Structure 1
Amino acid sequence: MDGNITEEQQVEQIKAWWKENGKAVVLGAVIGLGGLAGWRYYQAEVQSAKEQASDAYTQVINALEAGSENAVADTQAFIAGHESSQYAVLAALQLAKVQVQSGDLDAAVTQLNWAISNTKDQAILPVAQTRLARIYTEQDAFDKALAELDKVTAESWKGKVAELRGDVLLQKGDTLAAREAYVSAQQYGASPALQLKLDDLAQ
């Protein structure tokens, strides 16, 4: 504002400016506050949904581990109801484990394939892939098992995958390739079990 105008003129200018721009200022403030309130509400709802999913996951897994009568059906219902959540993927892994223990390998394959298709979590994906490879091996589907192992790319899993590849090849009857896989696994740290496998092949 001009420094030579009187205080009364300044007041009049402010009134005129407010008359022209006041509604926009108020509307902007309302929108801004409304947006903030809406965002906080959304965040609270997201957090609440996560907590509910966590509680429900804990319940179905506890029932699954206890061998409750409806545990499998309840776990499947939980997975269907939380498909976009990583809790559903974890539940599928646990359900597959129980199905393997009960001898229902086909159902376990279905669960693991679903888990693999519905997660990008690099901590979960190799677990599901190697478990699926083990089941394929149990079903004598050796080529499927090896193909699944080829999909595991995590650096920290290379030793485990090489050893498991050796197990698959050995069961397939390819002892030479199995030995090569075990030797490869040794590069990532030799375990007593791995050494025993190599010793057995040397005999």
Structure 2
Amino acid sequence: MAYDHEEQEQLESLKAWWKQYGNLITWTLIIVLSIFSAWKAWGIYQVKQAGQASLLYEEMQKAIHDKDQVKVLRAVTDVQDKFAGTDYAQMASMLAAKNAFEANDLKTAKTQLMWVQEHGKTAEFKSLAKIRLAGILLDEKSYDDALKVLSGDFPAELASAVADRKGDIFVAQNKTDEARTAYQLAIDKSTDKNPGRQLIQLKLDAIGGSPAKVAIESGK
């Protein structure tokens, strides 16, 4: 096919432009396509991971129902080792901790809660693990360690639970004033729909009722 002079010039210009920028465009396209493929593959991988983790979670639930502690620990360990990036890992760990606590295996319960505290994906799960861990430390009379676990920031929706737990610890330490302040704060941070609000009020009443206003303000 013959080209006229103008077409030939355009063709030569296009060749020169491609020679200068062709490799850059090609590599850019390759990178973009690679990123898209990796993103798509990652999505498929995550779905697959979640599916496999859910099977182990179901296996652990069955083991709990059958009271097979060996299988429970094996299942939760597998979820943690193989699928730590899924929600099932923190869910399984919390469930394993509850199961161990009910079996009076406080060492295992603490281990599972500490795993969530260190590796949990969400602030809510990590905070719940801290609150429950503080409860176990309270039972073990490790009061200072329990209060240390409850230090730092927590999600606003858990502020009442944290204050309530601190109140329990202060009561165990015979620190009545601090306990009153903590319980009052727990009530202030709770809503009328909170099922534990009445229990907190009962605990506050049992140690002499509301603290002085100055004490309440200093505890906020």
The TM-score bracket by the shorter chain reads 0.7 to 0.9
Aligned counterparts, 1:162-177, within 5 A: 162-177=163-178
Distance in 2 of aligned mates of 1:126 and 1:100 = 18
Q: Give the C-alpha shift of residue 76 in structure 1.
A: 0.4
Q: Give the C-alpha shift of residue 23 in structure 1.
A: 4.2
Q: Give the C-alpha shift of residue 94 in structure 1.
A: 2.2
Q: Aligned residue for 1:106?
A: 107
RMSD between aligned residues = 2.5
Residue 48 (structure 1) aligned to one of 31, 44, 48: 44
Residue type at the aligned position of 1:19: K
- Deviation track 1:29-52 (CA, whole Å, cap 9, x = no partner) reads 433332233222211221122112
TM-score by length of 2: 0.77
Q: Aligned residue for 1:3?
A: none
Distance in 2 of aligned mates of 1:19 and 1:53 = 48
- Deviation track 1:96-128 (CA, whole Å, cap 9, x = no partner) reads 222212221111212222221224622222111
Deviates more, 1:78-87 or 1:162-171: 78-87
Q: Give the C-alpha shift of residue 86 in structure 1.
A: 4.5
- Deviation track 1:52-90 (CA, whole Å, cap 9, x = no partner) reads 222222222222222254232022022012334444233
Aligned counterparts, 1:69-84, within 5 A: 69=68, 70-84=71-85
> What secondary structure is seen at the aligned counterpart in 2 of 1:123?
helix
Deviates more, 1:63-72 or 1:21-30: 21-30
Residue type at the aligned position of 1:202: G
User: Is 1:16 aligned to residue 12 of structure 2?
Assistant: yes
Q: Aligned residue for 1:181?
A: 182
**Which structure 2 segments of 5+ residues have no match?**
210-220
Q: Give me the identity figure in percent.
A: 20
User: Is 1:37 aligned to residue 40 of structure 2?
Assistant: no
Report which of the two structures shows the higher radius of gyration computed on alpha carbons. 1
TM-score by length of 1: 0.83
Conservation of the 8 A alpha-carbon contact between 2:113 and 2:130: yes
Q: Aligned residue for 1:4?
A: none
User: Is 1:200 aligned to residue 196 of structure 2?
Assistant: no
- Deviation track 1:151-183 (CA, whole Å, cap 9, x = no partner) reads 343333222211111112223333332222112
Conservation of the 8 A alpha-carbon contact between 2:83 and 2:89: yes
User: Is 1:63 aligned to residue 64 of structure 2?
Assistant: no
Deviates more, 1:113-122 or 1:102-111: 113-122
**Which structure 1 segments of 5+ residues have no match?**
1-6
Per the alignment, do residues 62 and 172 of structure 1 end up closer, same or farther by CA in structure 2, a change over 3 Å counting?
Answer: farther
Q: Aligned residue for 2:215?
A: none
Distance in 1 of aligned mates of 2:91 and 2:142 = 25
Q: Give the C-alpha shift of residue 133 in structure 1.
A: 0.7
Q: Give the C-alpha shift of residue 185 in structure 1.
A: 1.9
Conservation of the 8 A alpha-carbon contact between 2:57 and 2:92: yes
Aligned length: 197
Distance in 1 of aligned mates of 2:115 and 2:204 = 35
